[in-house]
Amino acid sequence: MSRPVPNPGILDIAPYTPGKTPVPEPGRKVFKLSANETPFGPSPKAIEAYKAVADHLEDYPEGTSRVLREAIGRAFGLDPDRIICGAGSDEILNLLAHTYLSQGDEAISTAHGFLVYPIATMANGAKNVVAPETEYTADVDAILARVTPRTKLVWLANPNNPTGTYLPFDQVKRLRAGLPGHVLLVLDAAYSDYVSRNDYELGIELVATTENTVMTHTFSKIHGLAALRIGWMFGPAHIVDAVNRIRGPFNVSTSAMKAAVAAIEDTAHVQMSKAHTEKWRNWLTEEIGKLGLKVTPSVANFVLIHFPTTKGKTAAEADVFLTKRGLVLRGLNNYGLPHALRMTIGTEEANRLVVEGLRDFMAGK
């Protein structure tokens, strides 16, 4: 009997394996440190704005997310006409892939890049080309070496998830300069709010001065609105025009839009979260390092912890050990990092418990 056949590339995508449901020992409090969510939640003003929408759930959202584009424009000094909002930056990444990739095309991502990129690439029948990294960091020359006449798009998370590393802006500019003009460079700035390095930039200048670079951003991380699904992109006018033609007319809910406006205006909440993250990122890197475990220097709200391959000391065993204590980190088998765990920086209590747990684990307790 004949039956529907998925488009080319779809069945090459590995099926999504859901994260394990942690079962800690009785009496343990559970700390979810596996999805880079903020331990502080959103701004109380965002929660208020969200609740206010409940009075008018019968109304369709304003379809262009105008109030949010204007709020983002004010916060970042951008022209709201060159912003598109989406149901999470995931939607934006998929819209970009759908607009610019088709069968026979190639898109480049980095060895330990964000998993959404290869999925968005292959979902559109294009080939995912992987560029190796140097010290868990994107390597501009390795990316440029993989450009072929079929290359249409380059994905770059800066900072990158799950490694926590970043490319200084001069390197990003060198990458752009080395790519052919028709290749779209997508700069994913999901973690930019956590970076405090003077050689880092989101890429706004590149987007504003070229015709082939876009920057995406999200409200899921420092703004704590992951449940609402809200992200955005800033791009050249011709790209905004093309993507808007396939974007769903009501892709962003009113509640997401209104909560995001309140969140972006609460700069004190963002500053508090950033300062906490920086303090505990330094502390965790140092304390975990003292246990003989390597931590990749991170500029984001998580750290990548490397484990030995000796039996009794592996990442998989550490994962089981910590989970029993209610400390849920993220195993990275599907990111090609089976010997590492990613830990989202949590509350002081959670951070101290992880270090204590790792100390006991390494001591063979």
Ligand X SMILES: *Cc1c(COP(=O)(O)O)cnc(C)c1O
What residues line the site for ligand X (CB under 6 A)? 36, 88-90, 114, 157, 161, 188, 190, 218, 220-221, 226, 231
Tally DSSP H helices, then E strands, for the chain. Answer: 12, 13
Cα separation of 240 and 67, whole Å?
A: 17
CB of 258 to ligand X, least distance (A): 17
Q: What angle (nearest 5°) sits at the alpha carbon of residue 96, between those of residues 94 and 99? A: 110
Between residues 107 and 157, which has the closer beta carbon with respect to ligand X? 157
Alpha-carbon distance values, 61 to 67, 68, 241, 254, 319 (Å): 11, 12, 20, 5, 43
Per the document, the length of the chain is 365
Q: Is the peptide bond before 162 cis (omega within 30 degrees of 0)?
A: yes
CB of 220 to ligand X, least distance (A): 3
Pairing of strands 327-328, 31-32: parallel
Between residues 161 and 212, which has the closer beta carbon with respect to ligand X? 161
CB of 226 to ligand X, least distance (A): 5
Tokens 């000094």, residue located:
77
Residue 193 per-residue DSSP state: G
CB of 35 to ligand X, least distance (A): 8
Between residues 34 and 212, which has the closer beta carbon with respect to ligand X? 34
Between residues 43 and 218, which has the closer beta carbon with respect to ligand X? 218
CB of 83 to ligand X, least distance (A): 14
Between residues 260 and 327, which has the closer beta carbon with respect to ligand X? 260
299 in Cβ contact with 159 (< 8 Å): yes
CB of 282 to ligand X, least distance (A): 21
CB of 91 to ligand X, least distance (A): 7
CA atoms within 13 A on the CB side of 15: 2
Largest CA distance in the chain: 63
Between residues 190 and 315, which has the closer beta carbon with respect to ligand X? 190
CB of 114 to ligand X, least distance (A): 4
Residue 191 per-residue DSSP state: T
CB atoms closer than 10 angstroms to residue 327 = 28
CB of 113 to ligand X, least distance (A): 8
Q: In the structure encoding, which two tokens stand for residue 196, read together?
A: 């405090």
Q: What angle (nearest 5°) sits at the alpha carbon of residue 168, between those of residues 98 and 208? A: 50
Alpha-carbon distance values, 84 to 76, 154, 239 (Å): 14, 19, 10
Q: What angle (nearest 5°) sits at the alpha carbon of residue 236, between those of residues 262 and 93? A: 65
Cα separation of 280 and 347, whole Å?
A: 9
Between residues 9 and 88, which has the closer beta carbon with respect to ligand X? 88
Between residues 176 and 221, which has the closer beta carbon with respect to ligand X? 221
Exposed/middle/buried for residue 39 (C-beta within 10 Å: 0-12, 13-18, 19+): buried
Between residues 34 and 36, which has the closer beta carbon with respect to ligand X? 36
Residue with the closest Cβ to ligand X? 88
